[in-house]
Chain A
């Protein structure tokens, strides 16, 4: 404890050691801020979607014109999109500012390079399919997985951070008549304002799918230990009873 206080550089360099934080303080903070803003974005996004649960392709679309998909959801024209949009934008700002902080930290601290870039040796079908089949058989992760990310995580997390989130922001901005008055390419590259809305929906669905798998894996790997690791930074060791599979 005291040594770490006097030699922070040592503590950082030794971050793979069991007594150092599993997750850096800033990663933990931004994780939970992102989680909170994502819930806000999801709830408000559903409220906005329900005002018109039809998706189109191209520039325009309305009832009376052909849709791409009629979502099996009711039209809810009771003014839920008002607070929905206010919450959506508030949460979007929290998410974007948090994301910026996370990305700058990830680059400066080399968190991305050290922990999130998959090792070349792991990028073989054999290695990926081994981890994938372990996941699909709901096999409890090995000890080493509590200390570092496996190759599937190293493919998925950067995909969420560097592909899905930027795509959400891009397609969101592409729906803004004010923003596209300055950068029309934002919407033209997507094939139109309604296309942007449709891609926004599917990218959001992909994020929800990620969330479901992510939370399931946390439960599988030991909910209490993983939560403790992401809240306090401690807890590489797994000392919780194995629920519910082992009971």
Chain B
């Protein structure tokens, strides 16, 4: 009697373990397919990153807009973090008022291209007055003008395999966005700030503006955009310099 019960228990426990493990594996595959697993999902902190990212991706629709403000809310102080790239190529472009500057767009696209500043300014422009919060805790509101990243992605023809948009800067920094934020209407290639040209300290000639994430995702001094299906071979495989130095890949907070 006791033996039979034990055997039954063993079989039940074994089956439950197998079912649980394969259930978890299936859940992970499904979650990955629906874009609920961030690149920095491994390790103990990865548990928190994944829960936060998945919860926010389920909660936010592709078109939920970050709050916009009126001109009267624009901050008089818009602090600058860090210096412009010391890189010789960047300094030459800066001296030439960015006439020679090109934004390369390549990767999983039908028509790899490069765009000049004048070309970007010729595209339909979009203006937003939004709040940018630095991960350190300070924040400011500014008006940003640029072309939607989605407009440029449509022009070059993105492959159906695309899952991330990787972007790089003249100071050798790199980061990436998932599909929802890359195609989001408030994600801009911003060349104007508060009605003027984007100041050098704020990332001239063009910075990315990602309104639904912390400031560090809004990368300055853009040089190149690459559409990819995986970030495994971008940097250390996390698709961004931020998680390599301890900051979350997803910063919708």
Seen from chain A, the residues whose Cβ lies within 8 Å of a Cβ on chain B are 48-49, 51-52, 54, 59-65, 77, 79, 81-83, 85-87, 89-93, 175-182, 184, 187, 193-194, 197
Which residue from B48, B131, B253 sits with its C-beta under 8 Å from A178?
Answer: B253
Residues of B with C-beta under 8 A to A63: 79, 138
Give complex CA distance A87, B212 in Å. 21
Q: In whole angstroms, how far apart are the Cα atoms of A9 and B73 in the complex?
A: 61
Tell me which residues across on chain B come within 8 A of A181, comparing CB atoms. 60, 64-67, 211-212
A187 to B131: give the CA distance in the assembly, Å.
12
Q: A93-B52, A177-B131 are in contact. Are A65 and B77 (CB under 8 A)?
A: yes
The majority secondary structure among interface residues of chain B is loop
- Are B56 and A179 interface neighbours, CB within 8 A? yes
**Bound-state Cα–Cα, A221 to B247, Å:** 43
Structural contact, B131 and A59, CB atoms closer than 8 A:
yes
Which residues from chain B contact A182 at a C-beta distance below 8 Å? Answer: 59-61, 64
Q: Please give the distance in Å from A52's CB to the nearest CB on chain B.
A: 3
Given A59-B73, A60-B141, A184-B67, CB of A85 within 8 Å of CB of B59: no
Query: Cα distance A87–B141 when bound, in Å?
Result: 28
Q: Which residue of A lies closest to B79 (CB)?
A: A62
Given A79-B245, A85-B248, A182-B61, A52 and B48 contact (CB-CB distance below 8 Å):
no
CA distance A52 to B140 in the complex (A): 14
Check A52–B212 contact: CB distance below 8 A: no
Q: How far is the CB of B198 from chain A (nearest CB, A)?
A: 19
A60 touches B139 (CB 8 A): yes
Q: How many Å lie between the Cα of A244 and that of B14 in the bound state?
A: 52
Check if B59 sits within 8 Å of A90, measured CB to CB.
Answer: no
Ordered by A's residue number, 24 sampled pairs between the chains whose C-beta atoms are within 8 Å are: A51-B135, A51-B136, A59-B73, A59-B141, A60-B75, A60-B140, A62-B77, A62-B79, A62-B140, A63-B79, A77-B136, A79-B245, A85-B248, A86-B49, A93-B51, A177-B67, A177-B133, A177-B213, A177-B252, A178-B59, A178-B64, A179-B252, A181-B212, A182-B60
Flag whether B190 is at the interface (Cβ < 8 A).
no
Beta-carbon nearest neighbor of A197 in chain B: B137
Which interface class (under 10, 10 to 19, 20 to 34, 35 or more) fits B? Answer: 35 or more
A-B pairs under 8 A by CB, number? 123
Closest Cβ neighbor of B59 among chain A residues? A182
**Measured between alpha carbons, how far is A97 from B78 in the docked complex, in Å?**
38
Contacts A64-B77, A81-B136, A177-B214 known; 10 new A-B pairs at CB < 8 A: A49-B137, A60-B139, A62-B77, A62-B79, A82-B246, A86-B48, A87-B45, A90-B44, A176-B56, A182-B60
A48 near B212 (CB under 8 angstroms)? no
Residue of B nearest to A88 (CB): B48
A90 CA / B50 CA spacing, docked (Å): 10
Interface flag for B47 (CB, 8 Å): yes
B34 to chain A, nearest CB (A): 17
Chain B 110-154, CB-CB to A under 8 Å as 1, else 0, gives 000000000000000000000101111111110000000000000
Residue among A49, A63, A85, A91 facing the most chain B CB atoms (10 A cut-off) = A85
* Smallest CB gap from A55: residue in B: B137
Q: Smallest Cβ distance from A11 to chain B, in angstroms? A: 25
Q: Which residue of A64, A85, A178 is within 8 Å of B212 (Cβ)?
A: A178
Partner of B213, one of A62, A91, A178: A178
Q: Closest 5 CB pairs between A and B?
A: A178-B252, A82-B246, A90-B48, A52-B137, A62-B138
Q: Are A59 and B139 in contact (CB under 8 A)?
A: yes
Pick the residue among B47, B51, B139 that contacts A61 (CB under 8 A): B139
> Complex formed: what's the CA distance from A204 to B157 in Å?
49
Nearest CB in chain B: distance from A142 CB, A: 44
Q: Which parts of B65-82 form the interface with A (CB within 8 Å)? A: 65-67, 69, 73, 75-79
Complex Cα distance, B140 from A180, in Å, reads 16
B210 to chain A, nearest CB (A): 9
Distance to closest chain B CB from A74 (angstroms): 13
A62 CA to B212 CA, complexed, in Å: 19
- Specify which of B139, B214, B252 is in contact with A62 (CB 8 Å cutoff): B139
